[in-house]
Amino acid sequence: MSNAIELSGVWYRAGPDFELTDVNMTVPAGSVYGFLGPNGSGKTTTMRLLVGLHKVDRGHISVLGNELPQDMPDILQRTGYVPEKSHLYHTLTVAEAVRYHGAFYKKWDESWTDELFDRFSLPPQQRLSKLSKGEMGKLLMLLALAQRPELLVLDEPTEGLDPVVRRELMGALLDYVAEQGATVLISSHLVHELERFCNWVGIMDQGRLVTELPMEQFKNGIKRLRITDPPSKYGDAPFELLMREPVNGGVPGEMLLVRGWRTEMADYFTGVGASLREVVDLDLEDGFVEMLRAFRAEMTGS
């Protein structure tokens, strides 16, 4: 199995004002895939499709080599899911919630559960309604990990948590991934957090997958270039031109946003009578913002 998740031509209307549109997405097996996008972009809807909480209108989804919806029971046995909001019965104690959840999974690991209890310092007899946000985040991660999943689908698992708790959760997750070789699909608004450990990245906006590629290609291949004496067209450019716009502040020339950049491509500009004045490196957050700007400009024709 080369890919843990495959979406092909997926359409899903979530309401009168939003739909996923022709989503084609691939999460390689063993990868940690950072799923980025602004609020309302479709990340949560996509994740809910993967665990059977929605059903596609058109298209095809496979998870862990199985087909949706017919193989959903097997998929859920092998998938750990942390939803955007807690789905647990808040009248239960922590220990009761763990026993209830564990009863549904054939591979539930009691000794591993006890280790996670100790690692997260969770109070077994505390009712869920009395847990702090950090304690609830730890419990949700415990439930996802204790079933020994091959795939983890994590929807904003550290949203609103303090840095200490975030570090605890991500440490436990990465230890598990290193030990088991599991695949992770994780969304987060903490872009710099994802940059530290994800090896793939996908960006969603307005119900469409804008791009997906290995993290190193994203960080090293997407650049801003400042050009003077630019040509009218870049039709034969060796890079992919995502956007061009005037330089701010009255500086002559224009700024390009390009993908697939390599240093040797600088000679191209001499050949078209232009001058490359600056190559600006982008971190994940900068690249994410610029990709959204380029996508929205293309969608509006501006």
Q: Please check whether residue 290 lies inside any domain of the structure.
A: no
Same domain? For 161 and 254 the reply is no
Tell whether the torsion through CA atoms of 110, 83, 34 and 106 is positive or negative.
positive
Same domain? For 203 and 235 the reply is no
Same domain? For 263 and 200 the reply is no
Confidence bin at 251 (pLDDT 50/70/90): low
User: Which residues does residue 33 pair with via DSSP β-bridges, in sequence order?
Assistant: 185, 200
- Number of domains forming the structure of the chain: 2
Q: Please check whether residue 32 lies inside any domain of the structure.
A: yes
List, as own/partner pairs, every contact residues 210-219 make where C-beta atoms lie below 8 angstroms and the sequence separation is at least 24, other chains included.
210/291, 210/292, 210/295, 211/259, 211/291, 212/25, 212/26, 212/33, 215/34, 215/284, 218/284, 218/287, 219/195, 219/282, 219/283, 219/284, 219/287
Q: How far apart are CA 188 and CA 153, in angstroms?
A: 12
pLDDT at 176: 95
Same domain? For 41 and 9 the reply is yes
pLDDT at 159: 87
Q: Please check whether residue 81 lies inside any domain of the structure.
A: yes
Q: Please check whether residue 298 lies inside any domain of the structure.
A: no
Confidence bin at 189 (pLDDT 50/70/90): confident
Q: Which of 190, 216, 242 is the last residue of a domain?
A: 216
Confidence bin at 67 (pLDDT 50/70/90): very high
Whether a cis peptide bond, with omega within 30° of 0, leads into 252 is no
Same domain? For 113 and 73 the reply is yes
Selected residue with higher pLDDT from 100 and 189: 100
For residue 236, the number of C-alpha atoms closer than 13 Å in the C-beta half-sphere is 6
Q: How far apart are CA 26 and CA 185, in angstroms?
A: 11
Confidence bin at 125 (pLDDT 50/70/90): very high
Q: Please check whether residue 273 lies inside any domain of the structure.
A: yes
Same domain? For 253 and 196 the reply is no
Q: Which of 216, 233, 262 is the last residue of a domain?
A: 216
Same domain? For 152 and 230 the reply is no
Residue 281, SS3 per DSSP:
strand
What count of other Cβ atoms lies within 10 Å of the Cβ of residue 14?
A: 16
Q: Please check whether residue 182 lies inside any domain of the structure.
A: yes
Same domain? For 103 and 172 the reply is yes
pLDDT at 302: 60
Across residues 285-297, what is the average pLDDT? 90
Q: How far apart are CA 221 and CA 219, in angstroms?
A: 6
Q: Which of 176, 197, 216 is the last residue of a domain?
A: 216
Q: Is 138 a residue whose pLDDT tops 70?
A: yes
Q: What is the mean pLDDT of the chain?
A: 93
Share above pLDDT 90 across residues of the chain, in percent, rounded to a whole number = 81
Q: What is the CATH number of the domain that holds 38?
A: 3.40.50.300
pLDDT at 220: 85
For residue 247, the number of C-alpha atoms closer than 13 Å in the C-beta half-sphere is 16
Same domain? For 180 and 64 the reply is yes
Q: Is 69 a residue whose pLDDT tops 80?
A: yes
Say which amino acid occupies 109. D
Same domain? For 168 and 125 the reply is yes
Q: How far apart are CA 241 and CA 179, in angstroms?
A: 40
Which domain, by its residues, includes 141?
A: 3-216
Q: Please check whether residue 59 lies inside any domain of the structure.
A: yes
Q: Please check whether residue 31 lies inside any domain of the structure.
A: yes
Same domain? For 166 and 228 the reply is no
Q: Which of 61-75, 99-113, 194-208, 236-250 has the lowest mean pLDDT?
A: 236-250
Q: Kind and range of the H or E element at 203?
A: strand 200-205
Closest by CA position to 113, among listed 141, 92, 137: 141
Confidence bin at 82 (pLDDT 50/70/90): very high
Q: Is 199 a residue whose pLDDT tops 70?
A: yes
Share above pLDDT 70 across residues of the chain, in percent, rounded to a whole number = 98
Same domain? For 202 and 245 the reply is no
Selected residue with higher pLDDT from 122 and 250: 122
Confidence bin at 252 (pLDDT 50/70/90): confident
Tell whether the torsion through CA atoms of 181, 182, 187 and 193 is positive or negative.
negative
